[in-house]
Amino acid sequence: MSLASVILFVVLPLIGLAIALAFVRFVWGPTLPDRVVALDLIGALGIGMITAYAIASNLPMLLDVAIVMALLSFLGTLAFARYLERRGKL
């Protein structure tokens, strides 16, 4: 069993399941910080999915996409944290 087949048949479906569960948390999160954390988790899992696919398909240019997504996700999380801090209610 090669690395590419393990990624395609094991890793990607598990990451997809984790994204689905994080989306459920995003929809049913009782507070705004819970939703922000779930959204950040969805972004991180998406980055992991892109990276795993890049490794499986031998397309290193997709790693640049993952790096840009990681930067945007980080900046978005910082913006939400700043908003919540200024709002005063957690």
**Quick check: 70 and 47 in contact, CB under 8 A?**
yes
Give, for all 90 residues of the chain, the pLDDT tens digit: 888 888 889 999 999 999 999 999 999 989 988 999 999 999 999 999 999 999 999 999 999 999 999 999 999 999 988 988 898 755
> Each residue of 11-33: pLDDT tens digit?
999 999 999 999 999 999 899 88
Q: Domain ranges for the chain, please list them.
A: 3-87
The dihedral sign for the CA sequence 52, 53, 56, 59: negative
pTM of the model: 0.88
